[in-house]
Amino acid sequence: MNVIEVSELTKKFGSFTAVDHISFDVKEGEIFGFLGANGAGKTTAIQMLCGISNPTSGKGTVAGYDIFKENEQIKHNIGYMSQKFSLYEDLKVWENIRLFAGIYGMNDKEIKENTRRLLKQLDFESERDTMVASLPLGWKQKLAFSIAIFHTPKIVFLDEPTGGVDPAARRQFWEMILDAAYKGITVFVTTHYMDEAEYCDRVSIMVDGRIDALDTPHNLKQQSQAQNMDEVFRKLARKAKRIN
Amino acid sequence: MGKSVLTSPAIMIDVRDLHKSYGHTVALAGVSCSVNDAEIFGIIGPDGAGKTSLFRILASLLLPESGSALMNGVDVVKDYEKIRRMIGYMPGKFSLYQDLTVEENLYLFATVFNTTIEENYHLVKDIYQQIEPFKTRRAGRLSGGMKQKLALCCALIHKPEVLLLDEPTTGVDPVSRKEFWDMLRQLKKQGISILVSTAYMDEASLCDRIALIQKGRFLGIDTPQGIISSYRRSLWSLHAGNVRGLLKSIRSYPHVRSCFAFGESHHVAVEEGFSERDFQQYLSSKGYGQIHLEPISPTVEDFFLDMTIDN
Amino acid sequence: MSQFNAFVQKEFYHIFRDKRTLLIILGMPIVQMLLFGFAMNMEVTHIRTAVFDPSPDQSTTQITRRIEANPYFDVVGQVHSEEEVNNLMRQGAIDLAVIYESGFHRNIVHSGEAQIQFIADASDPNRGTVATNYVTGILAGYQQEMMQLQTIPFHINTETRMLYNPQMESAYLFVPGIMGLILMIICTMMTSVSIVREQEQGTMEVLLASPLKPVTVLMAKTIPYTVLSAINVASILLLSFFVLNVPIRGNFLLLLFVCLLYILLSLTLGLLISTLVKKQLDAVLVSGIGLMMPTLVLSGMIFPIGNMPLVLQWSSYFVPARWFITAVRKIMIEGQGIMTVLPEIGILLGMTVFLAVLSILNTKKRLA
């Protein structure tokens, strides 16, 4: 079953085509790597999939809902976290959990139970009353991810979730992602770490607003006769003409 | 004196036992290193390890609590005005004027350093030519890679002796990162010493020497090769058919010290007494098939992981 | 080109490329002037009036009845002593008191002359003036009718007293007030915000790490905002002269000099604020709201300083706008020369030097 189906999706800003007729499907429980150089159009594409930005043309469904007409339903069925914004720094750990759970309409009892369970899972019980600002980055990102999937969404969108995180925490983070995927949550992730692209079931590479390649990491490496994803990426992205 | 110059390269930056903390948070817990003339020296570590504090102290923007730092013999605290003429500094955050054009930014920074674009154009020519087609575009509308190129031009335009680049490649895609490092190689050839920090471990191999930093301390200072050869354990790469729960199973094996995912394989660091055959059998007994196990040489990242587990 | 000039040029680029902010800076004074001008001309109604008539007779009854019949007045009742009038006035229960002399009609008949007194609450000078103008008009109408009916010529002497604001600082006075407020807020806010923005965006870090002196950066910031403020002074003066018909009685150059001095003072205050705050929002709050209240309340712009408790009177000495507004009133409205405004000029100059020294001392060579 596909949780994301997109066909000929396009977004124009004036004469500039940020996303140029992209089509792809993402299967349920899949980890889908969404790669591309800076300015290739990744962020715009994600905004359209999350229902924050309306496409200029094309069609698509996310979690079974139409991205044109059913933005609100989409928002209830997805989770989102990015490197830039994930948590409120001036709120405590439990206050952040409470806030986001509340936003997704959980009742007090559910929130209470789930908060306890989550803190235990993360081994964070002692940090319950810690201000998020004073947590190390790796911990913040782990917490942010847990909160993004707290309401068990069908899909979670991760926009460069591991930028700047130390190597050990980065791997722990990916272990959490794999765990979530095993539980059936579809993961849609962007990253600049090419070794992380290897953890994905399938990877798409965006160049100049189009999807230039889409396959398993194994096949991509074979097709472009590359040792690793870094090489694949460089070979493809080098073709980019657009500089913006 | 003359003899030592012949045998060992001149030291450009000399850092001794720097300490810095903000309230209860320790940013630098005593770091020392020296950077040679015309060397690319990498400070490699995650966010919050203390990289930015070190750069700011060297750029004379922060006062250390104790310790000293000399740049070509000039003290960064006492002679901060001299230091500011010697260095080209690129802070971590993109710090050009977003509402000025490419051209206007470069012009402004040339003027700030009492020079002209023409005077040192040869230094920035190769880099500037790449962004020149967009010279009338506002800096805020450039892509990440181009912003970094412009920032580098602005930091170079006064012909500094030392370049201090704090995480220049963060958030930049792999292609632009590669190009950026190629530029640094070119600058090194022109005799500029470069101190550069990064959170990307794979960039370590592009430096002449590196210092790995974590929690305000250096874990090791050496050439990338030297760092790798000081790795104390034997390392194995492991592929397996179904991976669910594999990490846990590997970690619970007695002689395994650590196991981390590295792309499509797992890197397994093992203690003495490890036997390849026993381990294969153990995994088969747990129900994992298509096991492919081979010894590999470590990367800087393996070293870093090993060191941080120690802490 | 020198470092300094290059920097000034850059500041102008910042200003002209941020069209929206530029529009606000240049449009705000115009909107404020028109708003105040309009508000000042608003109709005054429901003037609460008390009548003290020690010896009611046909004349006083007729006059009182005319006042009662006038739609602008609400006669709240008769009082029985001047003291009562004072009490009501102090409580703010009435706006106007009409006081007849004893034997009003008899005096008209016998000597052809009678006394009537109007006392108005002038703490709102506009309302006070309008109230006495209306009531004087009613009285004049009465006199005219009586003259036509009766052959004996007579005259009613009116005495008008303004309470709480005896100098009758009236409608014109808001022009210097607006200038004091607008220039203070725009200058301090724009300079402090533009400096703090460089700190927030990280450009200050690069500038600090360069041979450029931090003081040069600060000084270069003041030039463009001086120019903008000069434009504001011009638009305020033009509007007040041509649209609101406020005269400029004194020396025009002297007026411009005082404005320039005040602009410089506000700019240095902005520099000082920028050395004390870390975020753009704080800069806006401190220079906007933090300065707005004291400037509005303690400058004499709205409330006469003479009627304030002593502590507030003393505090007003520290409000630059107070001295600026006084000086501008003297020059613009009263038409006085340089000699009379020397104290104000001296004080403004002193404040400017003090703030400039303080902000230079407070300028950091390094990151905090």
Q: What is the DSSP string of C225-257?
A: HHHHHHHHHHHHHHIIIIIS-----S-HHHHHH
Inter-CA distances, A73 with A61, A78, C109, Å: 11, 9, 91
- Are residues C208 and C314 both part of a single domain? yes
- Residue B270 has a pLDDT of 93
Q: How confident is the model at residue C215 (pLDDT cuts 50, 70, 90)?
A: confident
pLDDT of residue C146: 79
Mean pLDDT for B183-204 is 93
Clarify whether residues C108 and C209 are in a common domain: no
The predicted model gives C313-335 an average pLDDT of 90
DSSP string, C293-361: HHHHHHSSSSS-GGGS-HHHHHHHTT-HHHHHHHHHIIIIIS---HHHHHHHHHHHHHHHHHHHHHHHH
With a cut of 60, say whether residue C362 has pLDDT above it.
Answer: yes
Give the predicted TM-score (pTM) of the model. Answer: 0.80
B61, B93, B98 member nearest C366 (Cβ): B61
Residue pLDDT, tens place only, C87-114: 888 887 888 899 998 888 888 888 888 8
CB spacing of A228 vs B261 below 8 angstroms? no
What backbone torsions phi and psi does residue A242 show, to the nearest 5 degrees? -75, 130
Residue B42 touches partner C, C-beta closer than 8 Å: no
Min Cα–Cα distance to chain B from C7, Å = 7
Cβ contact B91–C201 (<8 Å): no
Same domain, C119 and C191: no
Inform me whether the pLDDT recorded for B5 exceeds 80: no
- Report DSSP letters for B67-127, one per residue: EEEEETTEETTTTHHHHHHHEEEE-SS--S-TTSBHHHHHHHHHHHTT--TTTTHHHHHHH
Q: Which SS3 state, helix, strand or coil, does residue A220 take?
A: helix
Domain boundary among C163, C179, C197: C163
A185, A216 contact by CB (below 8 A) = no
C-alpha distance from C213 to closest chain B C-alpha (Å): 9
Mean pLDDT of A59-69: 92
CB B109 to CB C212 under 8 A? Answer: no
Q: Which residue has the higher pLDDT, B40 or B94?
A: B40
| Any domain includes A231 | no
Q: For residue A178, which residues of chain B lie inside 8 Å, CB to CB? A: 243
pLDDT at residue C350 in the model = 97
Average pLDDT over residues B192-210: 94
What percent of chain B shows pLDDT beyond 70? Answer: 96
pLDDT of B238 over the 50 cut:
yes
> Mean pLDDT, to the nearest integer, of B80-92?
93
Per the structure, the complete domain to which residue C187 belongs is given by: 3-39+171-362
Determine, for residues C366 and B60 on separate chains, whether the beta-carbon distance falls below 8 Å: yes
Based on the fold, state whether residues C352 and C260 are members of the same structural domain: yes
With respect to residue A98, please indicate whether it lies within any of the assigned structural domains: yes
Residue B176 contacts A, CB cutoff 8 Å:
yes
A122 within some domain: yes
- Could you tell me which residues come within 8 angstroms of residue B178 by beta carbon, excluding any fewer than 6 positions away? A234
Do residue C192 and residue C328 come from a single domain? yes
CB of B239 within 8 Å of any CB in chain A? no
Could you report the per-residue pLDDT of B280-311, keeping only the tens digit for each?
999 999 888 888 999 999 999 999 999 887 65
The arithmetic mean of pLDDT across residues C202-210, rounded, is: 88
Per-residue pLDDT band at C167 (split at 50, 70, 90): very low
**Predicted local distance difference test score (pLDDT) of residue B8:** 65
- Poorest-confidence range of A26-40, B57-71, C173-187? C173-187
C194 and C307 in a single domain? The answer is yes
Residue A51 lies in a domain: no
Query: Residue A138 belongs to what domain range?
Result: 89-152
Q: Which amino acid is at C215?
A: V
Residue C19 lies in a domain: yes
Say whether B261 sits in a helix, a strand or coil.
strand
Q: Rounded CA gap, C328 and C341, in Å?
A: 9
Mean pLDDT across chain C: 86
Query: In this complex, is the C-beta atom of B263 within 8 Å of any C-beta atom belonging to chain A?
Result: yes
Which residues of chain C does B61 touch, with a Cβ-Cβ cutoff of 8 Å? 205, 208-209, 366-367
- Specify if A120 maps to a domain: yes
Alpha carbon distance A208, A36 (integer Å) = 9
Tell which wins on pLDDT, C305 or C332.
C332
Comparing B244 with A37, the larger pLDDT belongs to A37
Nearest CA in chain C to B81: C211
Q: Residue C15 domain-assigned?
A: yes
Looking at residue C140, its pLDDT comes to 86
Which domain CATH number covers C133?
3.40.1710.10
Does residue C368 belong to any structural domain of this protein?
A: no
**Once rounded to an integer, what is the mean pLDDT over residues B128-133?**
92
Return the C-alpha torsion angle B16, B21, B27, B33, nearest 10: 0
Please list the alpha-helical segments (H only) found in chain C. 3-17, 19-40, 58-69, 82-91, 104-111, 125-149, 174-201, 203-208, 214-238, 252-276, 280-284, 291-298, 310-316, 320-328, 338-362
Q: Is residue A121, in this structure, part of any structural domain at all?
A: yes
Average pLDDT over residues C280-291: 91
Q: Find the length of chain B.
A: 311
Amino acid, single-letter form, for residue A38: N
Residue A198 sits at φ, ψ, to 5 deg, of -70, -25
Q: Is C367 a domain residue?
A: no
Contact yes or no for C209 and B87 at CB 8 A: yes
Distances (CA, A) of C110 to A147, C60, C105, C113, C152: 96, 16, 9, 8, 10
Whole-number Å distance between alpha carbons of B168 and B183:
12
C220 and C319 belong to one structural domain: yes
The ipTM value here is: 0.82
The mean per-residue pLDDT over the stretch C265-293 comes to 92
C96-100: strand order across its sheet:
C73-79, C47-52, C96-100, C113-121, C155-163
Is the C-alpha dihedral spanning C69, C73, C74, C79 positive or negative?
negative
Cα atoms found within 13 Å of the Cα of residue C82, Cβ hemisphere only: 7
Q: Give the pLDDT mean for B235-259.
A: 87
Q: What is the mean pLDDT of chain B?
A: 90
Q: What are the pLDDT digits (tens) for B16-63?
A: 999 999 988 899 999 999 999 999 999 999 888 999 999 999 999 999
Please tell me whether residue A21 adopts helix, strand or coil conformation. Answer: strand
Residue whose C-alpha is closest to residue A188's, from A211, A206, A161:
A161
Together in a domain, C226 and C256:
yes
Nearest-CA distance from A165 to chain B in Å? 6
B90 contacts in chain C (CB < 8 Å)? 206
pLDDT at position B98: 93
Taking residues A91-98, what's their average pLDDT? 92
> How many distinct structural domains can be found in chain C?
2
Averaged pLDDT, A189-201:
90
pLDDT at A64 over 60: yes
* pLDDT (tens digit per residue) in A71-84: 889 988 999 998 77
Chosen domain end from C136, C163, C190 = C163
In a domain, C334, yes or no: yes
Does residue C250 belong to any structural domain of this protein?
A: yes
The DSSP letter of residue A131 is B
CA quadruple C124, C127, C129, C132: dihedral positive or negative? negative
In angstroms, what CA-CA distances link A229 with A189, B71, B206, B239, C141? 15, 40, 18, 17, 99
* A136 Cα to chain B: minimum distance (Å): 7
Label the pairing between strands B11-22 and B87-90: unpaired
Does A225 touch chain B if contact means CB atoms closer than 8 Å?
A: no
Q: Residue B264 and residue A244: Cβ atoms within 8 Å? A: no
**Residue B45 and residue A166: Cβ atoms within 8 Å?**
yes
Q: Which domains does chain B have, with CATH numbers?
A: 2-223 (3.40.50.300), 231-310 (3.30.70.2070)
Interval C38-62: pLDDT, tens:
665 556 778 888 999 988 888 888 8
The proportion of chain C whose per-residue pLDDT surpasses 90, expressed as a percent, equals 34
How far CA A239 is from CA of A37, A214, A243, B142, B281, in Å, comes to: 11, 16, 11, 19, 47
- Tell whether A241 lies on the interface with B, counting CB pairs under 8 A: no
Is the pair A, C in contact (3+ CB pairs within 8 Å)? Answer: no
- With contacts defined as CB-CB under 8 Å, which chain B residues touch A136? 48
Nearest to B56 among C207, C210, C367 (CB): C367
Task: Please give the single-letter amino acid code of residue C166.
Answer: P
Residue A237 confidence class, pLDDT cut points 50, 70, 90? confident
Residue A1 belongs to some domain of the structure: no
- Which residues from chain B sit within 8 angstroms of residue C202, using beta carbons? 91, 93-95
| Residues C245 and C318 occupy one common structural domain | yes
CB-based contact B46 A164, cutoff 8 Å: yes
Query: Is C152 in the same domain as C270?
Result: no
Domain limit, last residue, from C134, C163, C192: C163
Tokens 């109007």 belong to C118
Residue C237 has pLDDT above 50, yes or no: yes
A137 within some domain: yes
pLDDT band per the 50, 70, 90 thresholds, residue B7: low
Q: Considering only CA atoms, which of A34, C202, A139 is closest in space to residue B167?
A: C202
Residue A244 has pLDDT above 60, yes or no: no
Q: Are residues C158 and C188 in the same domain?
A: no
Residues C187 and C322 in one domain: yes
- The answer to whether the Cβ–Cβ distance between A243 and B146 falls below 8 Å is yes
Q: By three-state DSSP, how is residue C172 classified? A: helix
- Tally the domains of chain A: 1
Is A141 in contact with A191 (CB distance < 8 Å)? Answer: no
Strand pairing report for A210-215 and B40-44: unpaired
Q: How far apart are CA B268 and CA B234, in angstroms?
A: 8
> Phi and psi for B100 in degrees, rounded to 5?
-105, 155
